[in-house]
Structure 1
Amino acid sequence: MRAEDRLVLNTARAAGPAGAGLVLLALVEPVTRLALPGLLGSSVDTAIAGRPMSTSLVLLLVVLAVGTLTEIARESWEVRAEVTGTRWLRSRVLRHLLSLGGDGRRHFAVGDVLSRLLESARTTATGISAMVIVLTSVCTSLGGLVALFWIDVWLGALFLVGAPAMWMLTRWLIRRVGAMTTTYQRLSGELASRFVDAVRGARSIRAHGTVDREVDRILAPLPELEAAGGAFWETQRKAMWQAGLLAPVLQIGVLAVGGFAALAGRISPGELLAAQGYLTYAQGLLKQTALLARLAVARGSAQRLRELLDVPVPASGLRHLPSGPGRLSLRGVRVRYGERWVLDGVNLDLPPGRSIAIVGASGAGKSTLTEVAGGLLTPDEGRVLLDGVPLSEVDPRELRSAFAFAFECPHLLGETLADALAYSDRTPSPRRVGEALRSSAAEGFVRRLPEGERTPLRDLRLSGGERQRLGLARAVARRARVVVLDDVTSSVDTATEVQIGAALERALRGTTRLIVAHRMSAAERADAVVWLHGGVVRAFAHHDELMEHPEYRAVFQPRRPSLGRDSAVERARDPELTMEMAPLPVERSHSDVRSGRAR
């Protein structure tokens, strides 16, 4: 069984009682259908023979009533099964996507994920009812064929002559429609991705006056999408036309043989009437081109979901994370995006309880390095250790508790601001949240809100700097072993940045901090600097030492020298830091740059 078929079956199982009810009806409904022509034919023969018809009529009415009730129940349970199946699929896909973490971004764009989560999941769930109807049609068709042989062997034999052609047509339809569904939904996902990008950059589009150009870019896949949709309906049209031509030929042939058999006395008039009904049932599956196309669409959608679900979740273990100071080690770490190595052979030993700035030009791999070090992104090669334990072997719950992240553009999650600040697997106390707000210089503007921390997120109108400070407070409130700060003060003014930096130094003293730094002041305040260039560690040393090199100075925008140089000199004289972070010579292409890594 193919993976997409298993997914449709698993969705049917997840539909619960509604799915089970549909399967039961798929077995009961053929019985009522197949009983009807036989009872009708028996009633005709009874009437011709002049015998009482009361028993036959009662049975006929009972079968009609049961058939009507099963049809009503099927329509009701179909809706329930599709709703339940869609919810299960979306939950499974969403959980898997969130489990992928940063790995998911390397495989799927946002719009493509939305297309799979919304459209593909819903369409796959419609396969439950389609599959049940197909099962009913198969049982009914086989029963009709057996009944034709029972009435007269030549009736069944003649039907089998044309059945292979109908089967080949059906198989072609399912494969063709399934492939086109995958293509159509892929293009739809690309269209959604372009639209999401445009919404994110709406201000830039308006500022540059490129609305028309952007509309053309978004709608560029539309002709191909239209062609795929047209091919879908053209395939159905061809299949229905061919089936519509072949089915009447079979019907005329079987009825002609049946007529001669009745004249010859081999079958009765009632059996001839029953044979006509059984012939219709035997052809039922072969004439269900629209239903088979619907099943093929569901299978194509399931294939789209399988592509996402087949991406392996990063390995995790069951090891307990021993207590420790937060010492991070990276060994031979390499990360690829497409054909490009974003990180290439990174080896670092980061001293615990210190602030480490990650510095480099745009695209050097700074954010990727912090995501790998924090366990959000699995490296393609190499490994990361926290206090001597590989991250891939640590229990996921303990691993997440060991790290806290603050991002450049944080997303606030929850109903109220208090929910967003306490958003964590370990809910911090109100006191801890208050301390974190003070450390991130966010306490003042939060107090000025009409409802303070109880303000609903939907009512918040925040600047970029205010949002960054709230994200920073959320990270500080976690009390993690390692705190990752990814350019978290890029939207605040210099004075506020200095204030935040001093407060964080007090609040996170003794905590290992990885700081993606774009401003020179952030690198100056750090205990040491990892200088990245093209995904490679060029040097690991103090900021004041690295300032001797023009290429390092070029990373920052020209600005006046900081007045905080004395503290940097004091750190350089710290024997622990000198031992931990003394640069070591490595192979390099620029001999004027002293490169190294921590021992």
Structure 2
Amino acid sequence: MKKQNKNTTSASFRQLLPYVKSHGFALALSIILAAVSVILQLYVPILFGDAIDQTIAAHRVDFVQMWRYLRLILLVAAASALCTWLMNLLNNRMTYHIVQDIRSRAIRHIQKLPLSYLDKHSSGDIVSRIITDTDVLSDGLLLGFTQLFSGIMTILVTLIFMFSKNFWISLMVIVLTPLSFLVARFISSRSYRLFQKQSEVRGRQTALIDEMMGGQTVVKAFGYEQRASARFAEINEELMKYSQRATFYSSLTNPCTRFVNSIIYACVALVGVLLIPLGSLTVGGLSVLLAYANQYMKPFNDISSVVTELQNALACASRVFALMQEPEEKPDDSQQLGHVRGQVCIRDVSFCYDRSHPLIEQFALQTKPGMRIAIVGPTGCGKTTLINLLMRFYDVDSGTISIDGTPITSVSRHSLRSSFGMVLQETWLKSDTVRENIRFGRPDATDQEVIQAAKSAHCWDFIRRLPKGLDTVLREDSVSQGQKQLLCIARVMLCLPPMLILDEATSSIDTRTEILVQQAFDTLMEGRTSFVVAHRLSTVRNASLILVMRDGKIIEQGTHQELLAAGGFYSELYNSQFQPS
């Protein structure tokens, strides 16, 4: 476990390094400012020691020299404070730019991930990685830049000044120093695993909150509140357990190293007191060495705290980088799909989400341009999966799908998907104006075109009644589910794509509006190849071809009248919907 933690930490650090290197100039300037600030700070004890040595004996104090040293101390302290302020300003700017780069790349990477990854991971956990984990990384980096550089510089410069005062005391301090390192390492090696578990549990907690908040209506309708609270309490208890343990171990670092440092400080004082009578050290010199011993030990306390925070930061960074290392969608060809007529050929296609559970096997279909293909069948038969394959949300395991004779794997995904207009049963609108939601696929569309599309989708009436019309910013409860679906239909009406996919596109609309929208769809589908997934068979009577699917296979196909006359599975489905109970 220790080796694994060490490898994970090293890997996270190596992945973080390029982001830090991209701000190399700022990093170098920060180190220089840290060095100057530390040198000026450590020069102050020498000036104090020299001022103390001006007290030669009773009634023999050189006040002129003493005041000169005091003025110089004020000047040096002010210069050191200015360097520290500039360093902190630079470190803040550098840290937040690094985290901004990581978040931006993470978001860009998510856009390139296959849909299979997003289907298998909760959105709450992904959000937690990008928001919470990068926040923790930001805090760790800021503390590292601010205290780590200054601490290391303080240790190095202090040693130089100490050796200039007394060799043997300085050597003793160096010999005793590893005690602090051993204590800090012993504790940090145990805290990393706990911080990593804390980060994982926090992601699960965020996922649960996202899940429960997104489905509050269902939660309340089924009386799930107490069970949801119990699940949250269980995860919250687990998070508290790991957080307490991680905090306990990390909080041991500072007092333990302080105890070791106090022993070293006492040794310096004891040896110094013994050397003064021998004439090899003055009182002022001892005061300087004691000040330096304190200055020398302080960074070890700070660095031990920094190491603890960095352990936490790198544990969180490992989750973010793990997301960013997920393999992207297979690169597609840059070839563009030209003028689309809409001839779709599906030949011997097989596909499954899980190798142990075959879904679509040896699927074949040939369509002519302008055909309206309806896909019906029981839940889980593969209707939506077929749509996912057409859009290349998933790639087929075997077989080919081609459009106008061109295999879809040989053209860019963007080119393929822009050839389809898609309206799903699940609606999605972004938090923006009505106008921007409708012209989501055509950002250059004019207001007149947007209004015409809204009228075609029969949603212009309710848009006009909104507080600001097209400029109304949509929120979660701004419009009803049916109105959301109408806006999604208007989005497709605006694009006028050469092919259409309608997956229960009118499921949330009232019957009267559905008839009007269906008429609009009939006009839109005229001359366009269309795939219509439907559970209500009344909506597919006018289809050119009806595919009846079961267990991933086409078991019947034909027109509505032909399938009814055949008296097969379709006839059973149709009659079950329209027979009086």
TM-score, reference length from structure 1? 0.80
For residue 110 of structure 1, what is the amino acid of its counterpart?
S
Q: How many residues are aligned here?
A: 559
1:325 paired residue number:
341
Tell me by how many angstroms 1:309 deviates. Answer: 1.6
Does the residue aligned with 1:95 lie in a helix, a strand or coil?
Answer: helix
Matches within 5 A, 1:121-520: 121-132=134-145, 133-288=147-302, 289-317=304-332, 319-323=334-338, 324-328=340-344, 334-336=351-353, 343=359, 347-348=363-364, 351=367, 352-377=369-394, 386-387=403-404, 394-395=411-412, 397-413=414-430, 415-424=432-441, 426-449=443-466, 451-458=468-475, 461-494=478-511, 496-520=513-537
Query: Which has the larger displacement, 521-530 or 389-398?
Result: 389-398
Q: Distance in 1 between matches of 2:442 and 2:300?
A: 55
Worse-superposed segment, 6-15 or 465-474: 6-15
Q: Which moved more, 1:92-101 or 1:114-123?
A: 92-101
- Partner of 1:283, secondary structure, is helix
Instruction: Please name the residue that 1:120 is paired with.
Output: 133
Find the partner of 2:118 among 105, 119, 128: 105
Rounded Cα–Cα distance in structure 1 between residues aligned with 2:471 and 2:241 = 52
Distance 1:176 1:152 in 2: 38
Structure 1, 90-99 or 485-494: larger mean CA deviation: 90-99
CA distance in 1, matches of 2:198, 2:457: 48
TM superposition shift of 1:41: 3.2
Deviation, 1:88, is 4.1
What is the CA-CA distance between 1:488 and the residue it aligns to?
A: 1.3
| RMSD of aligned Cα (Å) | 3.7
Q: 1:256 to 1:349 in 2, by over 3 A?
A: farther
| Distance apart, 1:212 and its partner CA | 1.9
Partner of 1:558: 576
Mean CA deviation greater in 540-549 or 69-78:
540-549
Q: CA deviation at 1:231?
A: 0.4
* 1:229 positional shift: 1.2
| Contact in 2 for aligned 1:343/1:369 (Cα 8 Å) | no
Q: Is the 8 A contact 2:549 2:556 kept in 1?
A: no
Give the secondary-structure state (helix, strand or coil) at the position aligned to 1:489: coil
> Counterpart of 1:575?
none
Q: Secondary structure at the match of 1:404?
A: strand
Unaligned stretches of 5+ residues in structure 2: 1-8
Q: Does the 8 Å CA contact 1:365/1:532 hold for their aligned counterparts? A: yes
CA distance in 2, matches of 1:515, 1:256: 90
Shift of 1:474: 0.4
Aligned to 1:578: none
Superposition deviation, residue 296 in structure 1: 2.1
Offset at residue 235 of structure 1 (A): 0.5
TM-score of the aligned structures, taking structure 2 as reference length? 0.83
- Asked if the contact 1:523–1:543 (Cα under 8 Å) also holds between the matched residues in 2, the reply is no
1:494 Cα deviation from its structure 2 partner: 4.6
CA contact (8 A) 2:38 2:154 kept: yes
- Give the C-alpha shift of residue 75 in structure 1: 4.6
2:110 and 2:255 mapped to 1: Cα distance? Answer: 43
**By how many angstroms is 1:302 displaced?**
1.3
Q: Paired residue for 1:541, among 557, 567, 570?
A: 557
Change (3 A) 1:17 1:531: farther
Q: Is the 8 A contact 1:316 1:394 kept in 2?
A: no
Q: State the secondary structure of the residue aligned to 1:405.
A: strand
Structure 1 residues 278 and 450, CA, compared in 2 at 3 Å: closer, same or farther? closer
Q: What displacement does 1:301 show? A: 1.9
| Aligned partners of 1:530 and 1:537 also within 8 Å | no
- Offset of residue 421 of structure 1: 0.8
Going from structure 1 to structure 2, the CA distance change for 1:488 and 1:219 (only over 3 Å counts) comes to farther
Change (3 A) 1:497 1:268: same
CA contact (8 A) 1:258 1:272 kept: yes
| Residues 321 and 389 in structure 1, CA contact (< 8 A), matched pair in contact too | no
